[in-house]
Structures are given as C-alpha cells and as structure tokens.
Amino acid sequence: MPFTDILIMIAETVGVTALATLFAYVLGLPCGVLLNVTGKNGLKPCKWLNTLVGLIVNILRSIPCLIIIVLCIPLTREIFGRGTGEWYTILIPLTVCAFGFVSRMVEQSLAEVPAGEIEAIKSLGATDFQVIMKVLLPEARVSLVTGVAVVAVSILGYTSFAYNIGAGGLISGIYTFYTRHTGDYLGKFIFWVMIVLVVLIVQGIQELGLFIAKKLDKRKILK
Amino acid sequence: MIEIKNLEKIYPSKTGGFVALKDINLTVEDGDIYGIIGLSGAGKSTLVRCINLLEKPTSGQILIDGEDLTKVSKKRLLQLRRNISMIFQQFNLLQQRNVLKNVELAGEIAGNKNPTEKAIELLKLVGLEDKLNSYPAELSGGQQQRVAIARALMTNPKVLLCDEATSALDPETTHSILELLKSLNKKLNLTIVIISHQMSVIEAICNKVAILDKSGIVSNGYLQDVFLSPTNEVAKKLIYSGHVNTGIKGEKFVKLMFTGEVDKPIVSNVITELKISVSIMYAETKLINDRVCGQVIFRLPNYSEDIVKLTDYLTRENVPFEEVDSDALY
C-alpha cells in the first residue's frame, strides 16, 4: 500500500471528523442551550418544549449509528448527488448521529454554571438572551471545549462505518486491509502502522482539547 | 422609597404549598440602611429577592417610588432592576472574566457602549484600582465582594440589596465592607437593605431593622427601639444571643435601658447612694446610630422598700426600665 494512500486516508478521517463535529455543534449547541433554558431549573422553564426536544434527542441517540447511516442515504443522495462511495457521503449521517449527543453534552455543561452567577447578572437587569451570551456560554467554555474533544473522538469512532458505504478513511482502510490479508494481517507492518496512526490522532484530539481548555480556564490560577 | 404591601410568597408543593412569606408590610425610606434579620429559614433571602422580583411574589405589591414592580411589563422590570442592585454572600462574580470585565459587564447590559472609564472609577472607589486585570480566583473574599459592589454600582442604583453579603467573610473584612457600605450610603445617598442573621452586622450600620420569624415580620422600626425592647422570643434570641444568665426559674429581674440620653453612672449610684446591692445578669452597650445604647438586667431587690427606692430613683433620672421574668428573657 503506497504511502500517499495512507496520507489520503488520514486526511479523509481527520476532515470528516472535523466537519461532522462542526456541523453537529452548529445544530447541537443551540439545541443544548434550548434544553438547558427550558429545563426545570433553566432561565425559562417550558415543560412541553423541553420534553419534545428531549424526546427527539433521545430517539436520535437510541438509533445505532449504522442504522442512521442507512436511513440517511436518500437524503445524502438528494444533497450531494450520490448516497455512497465518496468520503463526503458519511458527513450527514455522522452529524445526525452526534447531534443528540452534542445537545446533551452542551445542556450538561451549561448546567454546571453556578446559579448565583446567573442570578447576579439577572439582578442587573439582563435579558435572557444576554444571560445566555454573556454568562452561560462564556462561563461554561472550559466544559464546552472538553466536550468538543469527547464528541470528536466518538465521531472518529463512528467513521468506522464508512467501510459499509465505501466512504473511505483510515479506520475503514484498516478493515479493508484485513479483508485482503485475512491469513497474515497481524504479521504485516503497515497494518500496525495504521493502528498506531489512529491512536495518535485520538490522542492528539484529546490533548489539544485539554490544552485549549486549560488555557481558557481562569478559575484556578497559580500565583 | 420601597414599599412592600401585604407580600406573600408560597412555593407550590404536593402537600398544598410552603408558605415562605406572609403578610409582609415594610417601608424603606430613601437613605435608610434597613436591616432584615432572622434565623435561618425565616424567609430573609426570599424577601430580599422579592424586592427586585428575582422571586415572583404570590400576592402583594412591591412599590419602588410608587411604581408597582409586580404589575410592570417585562421590559420595564429589567429597566427598574438597574435601580435596585444586589450583592451576594458568595459574591457571584463571573469566574472567567477579570475584575475590570466583570464590572464593565454591568454597564454593557445596561446598554453602555463604553463602560471602561466608569468601571475603573468605581473600582477606585472600592479601593481595587490595582487589581483590574486579576481574575476572581486570585482575589480574597473581601476583594471579591468589593468587585461585586463596584459591579452593582455600575447601573447607578438608588437601592443596594445585600443578601448575607458579609457572612462568608472574617470579622475584620466584614468590618471593612460594612464601612464601605456606610460610606456609599452617605456619599451616593444609596438606600441599603441588608439581610443578615448576625445582630452585630445590623448594629454596625443599620438605622432601622425588621425581625423576620416564621415567614412574617415580628418586629420592626428604628434600631434602638427594637434593640432595647425586644418584644418576642426571636428578637430576644437574636439580641441577647444566649448571653443572659437566666438565674433561677421564676425570679424577677429589672431591665434598665439606656438610649444615650442619660450620662450618669446609674448602676453604681444605685449601689453607693441607694445602698442596694445588685447582681447583674446581663449588661451590654452598643454604638447605634452614633449614640451609646445599652441595657443592664439585674435581680430585683428582695425588700419592697428597696424596690420603691429603686423605681423612684430611675424615674427621677429618666431611665426607662421594666420588670422582666427570668423565663421571659430567653
């Protein structure tokens, strides 16, 4: 297997993971805010809306990713012109898979913001929108960033299913390699190289997340 | 002026609702430092949150300069809240913003596009001009409360609500924060409402006080009046704070009240001139509104002629006094 093939696979995996994470947050961040704000202890408790959105999120989270991938094929075909076979054909299903998860992560992160800080800003006459933009999101930023890293790692895991629709990437590359060398794949150097690469990418995402989170956190400052 | 009329707050529950406040009537005049004191669970924090409608009253009126907060539109309420700032026991600064940005935020919320200059000015006023770029985590409790005060002043409030604002601070820092509040009251003619469970805090700066017990106000008025004649159990508990030697059950005591008008050694005159020996059960003097106030409780003399001598003398010297029961003290 030529070196350039592996480079392409890395690019596909990292690119798809990054884009799907981005899209999942474009949808999941507002949804998580909505869940938090309409929740029992939120800024504007609204039971029916919270239950409704919560239900949608829960259903999405309950459907296994492989099933979502299959369900999304017609939609992908509608948008991209083809449903399978190219790296970008897995973007929509991965976004859908991660969306519910992201919503719950965001909801949870916002719930960690001390109620007193919100109350203090409300006492200054802030609107609910100002509380969200100036208190909830900025004060939860450390937890939100750590959440992004966790989500990205799970999405990277989901890219395994790219094998099933021929959407490429490093992990499905490893599986393809196995199917072609079923007898002696464990003895092949390149097989292990690819696995180490996956581990390195995952570690890289986690470390980057932690690094940024630490940089952003002003709560514990060593004098 | 804040007028609270027939305020009631009931938290709904499965068993019909928990009454947090009932039948609250209170008037805070402009320039007052009004203390609201009570034991934990009396409803103090709920009451102070009803004043700026962070808690919505179940019924009753909150009038700020005649405008009923419970009736105004949401938009108007947000505007009015800027006239009624608040500080908290846990300071509640935003942890991810530095000191200057925390104070600026209050200006931004009020639509001030360029709040920096004013924020720096207020931080100077509270004595923190050298901490502009520090984060709350780097500051002591007292410093954090000063930042919170600067933030509260950013909206040019007429009223400052203090919810146990010194309860998380040591006595020395408490003193300095109270001095700061006192000076703001004078300098800016800021009306202050202070919630506390400590009598010492109320005595240090308030001119008026209300005692809250079991969701209702049991006593209120000028500090010296409430302080010198505590009329109910909770008031006594808070004022004598367990320092009374109650002696034998059923004994009769006499309580002398000094309101700062009598400048004579009354007790020693009772002993040396009237030749009545007294055993003191409780004695205390305090500086209230810049006057020395105090009270002494001693055992009533055994002989009725001594009692007559004593009462004549006290009446002559204009010292208010009353007979109290040892059981009634605590």
Q: Chain A residue closest to B149 (CA)?
A: A120
Residues of A in contact with B156 (CB under 8 A): none
- Report if residue A104 sits inside a domain: yes
* Model confidence band, residue B234 (pLDDT cutoffs 50, 70, 90): confident
Residues of A in contact with B139 (CB under 8 A): none
A135, A142, A217: residue with CB nearest B94: A135
Torsion of CA B321, B323, B325, B330, to 10 degrees: -10
Residues of B in contact with A221 (CB under 8 A): 135, 137-138
Q: Are A125 and B81 in contact (CB under 8 A)?
A: yes
Instruction: Mutation target for B interface from A40, A41, A123: give the one with most B CBs within 10 A.
Output: A123
Cβ separation B155–A221 shorter than 8 A: no
Strands of B208-213's sheet in order across: B84-88, B159-163, B191-196, B33-37, B208-213, B216-222
Residues of A in contact with B105 (CB under 8 A): 121, 124, 134
Q: Which residue has the higher pLDDT, B256 or B238?
A: B256
Query: What are the C-alpha distances in Å from B69 to residues A121, B80, B155, B272, B307?
Result: 18, 8, 18, 60, 55
pLDDT at A223: 43
* Model confidence band, residue B246 (pLDDT cutoffs 50, 70, 90): low
- Report if residue A88 sits inside a domain: yes
pLDDT at A45: 94
CA atoms within 13 A on the CB side of A125: 26
* pLDDT exceeds cutoff 80 at B90: yes
- Report if residue A208 sits inside a domain: yes
Q: Are A136 and A118 in contact (CB under 8 A)?
A: yes
**Residue A137's domain is classified under what CATH number?**
1.10.3720.10
Cβ separation A127–B78 shorter than 8 A: yes
- Report if residue A221 sits inside a domain: no
Residues 6+ positions from A93 with CB-CB distance below 8 Å: A65, A68, A69, A71, A72, A76, A161
* Residue A120 contacts B where some CB pair is shorter than 8 Å: yes
- With CA atoms as reference, report the closest residue to A169 among A186, A185, A180, A155: A155
How many residue pairs from chains A and B have C-beta atoms closer than 8 A?
A: 82
pLDDT at B88: 95
- Report if residue A223 sits inside a domain: no
* Mean pLDDT, residues B313-329 taken together: 77
* Model confidence band, residue B265 (pLDDT cutoffs 50, 70, 90): confident
Range in A5-19, B107-121, B179-193, B212-226 with the lowest mean pLDDT: B212-226
Å from B297 to nearest chain A CA?
A: 44
* pLDDT exceeds cutoff 90 at B240: no
Q: Which residues of chain A have pLDDT under 50?
A: 222-223
Looking at the 3D structure of chain A, how many domains does it have? 1
- Report if residue A135 sits inside a domain: yes
Torsion of CA B261, B263, B268, B273, to 10 degrees: -100
pLDDT at B252: 77
Which domains does chain B show, CATH number per domain?
Answer: 2-232 (3.40.50.300), 242-329 (3.30.70.260)
pLDDT at B134: 94
Q: Are A157 and A22 in contact (CB under 8 A)?
A: no
Residues of B in contact with A122 (CB under 8 A): 54, 81
How far apart are alpha carbons A58 and A102 in whole angstroms?
11
Å from B82 to nearest chain A CA?
A: 5
How far apart are alpha carbons B33 and B202 in whole angstroms?
9
- Report if residue A86 sits inside a domain: yes
Range in B44-53, B60-69, B197-206, B254-263 with the lowest mean pLDDT: B254-263
Q: Give the range of the structural domain holding residue A151, as residue numbers without chain letter.
A: 3-216
Q: Over chain B, what is the mean pLDDT?
A: 87
- Find residues 132-161 of chain A whose CB sits inside 8 Å of chain B: 134-135, 138-139, 141-142
Torsion of CA A7, A9, A11, A13, to 10 degrees: -150
Å from A7 to nearest chain B CA?
A: 40
Å from B111 to nearest chain A CA?
A: 10
Q: Chain B residue closest to A126 (CA)?
A: B109
How far apart are alpha carbons B53 and B77 in whole angstroms?
8
Instruction: Mutation target for A interface from B64, B105, B147: give the one with most A CBs within 10 A.
Output: B105
Å from B279 to nearest chain A CA?
A: 50
Q: Are B280 and B326 in contact (CB under 8 A)?
A: no
pLDDT at B328: 57
Three-state SS string over chain B comes to: CEEEEEEEEEECCCCCCEEEEEEEEEEECCCCEEEEECCCCCCHHHHHHHHCCCCCCCEEEEEECCEECCCCCHHHHHHHHCCEEEEECCCCCCCCCCHHHHHHHHHHHCCCCCCHHHHHHHHHHCCCHHHCCCCHHHCCHHHHHHHHHHHHHCCCCCEEEEECCCCCCCHHHHHHHHHHHHHHHHHCCCEEEEEECCHHHHHHHCCEEEEEECCEEEEEEEHHHHHHCCCCHHHHHHHHCCCCCCCCCCCEEEEEEECCCCCCCHHHHHHHCCCCCCCEEEEEEEEECCEEEEEEEEECCCCHHHHHHHHHHHHHCCCCEEEEEHHHHC
* Model confidence band, residue B309 (pLDDT cutoffs 50, 70, 90): confident
- Report if residue A14 sits inside a domain: yes
* pLDDT exceeds cutoff 80 at B263: no
